[in-house]
Amino acid sequence: MRITAAQRNENENRIRAAMDRLLRGEIPPGGTCDIKTLAREAAVDRTAFYGTRPYSHLRVEFERRLHAIQEAGEIPDPREAQIARLKAENTKLRERLAQSEQTIAELTDFRGQALARLAAQHEEIIQLRDAAAGASRVSRLPAPRTTVIGTCS
């Protein structure tokens, strides 16, 4: 079925209005910022946007404008923006987790080394005490006095 020039012009106006709404972020429920939703919002058959069909130039214009908006750092589809934000947050959290795991491994290694050093020092102290107890030249100091002389007030 052929359409008149007036009908075609009216369809193009509806498509352009729907295109502007989608690119502003006014996404209908259940839709995304794509050709399928554009066709549904403009009440035009989706196949009219492909090949040598009458509205293929509007598909190219829509994709070009969408790409320009995305290059500017904006995402018109709120769900796509949320997905991008969550992916970035997920990457950041994975990096933090890897850093935390590395820190834990380093601290565990340090703890093991510190315990080994303490054990070695303890053994050396025991050996020195045994050696000092066996030597006759070493004299023991008297125990400190615990009596208090005078008042403490």
Q: What is the pLDDT of residues 93-105, one digit of tens each?
A: 999 999 999 999 9
Counting every residue written for the chain, the total comes to 153
pLDDT of residue 1: 64
Phi, psi of 141 (to 5 degrees): -80, 150
Mean pLDDT of the chain: 86
- Do residues 77 and 32 lie in contact, with contact meaning Cβ atoms separated by under 8 Å? yes
pLDDT of residue 150: 66
Lowest mean pLDDT of 8-12, 32-36, 100-104, 147-151, name the range. 147-151
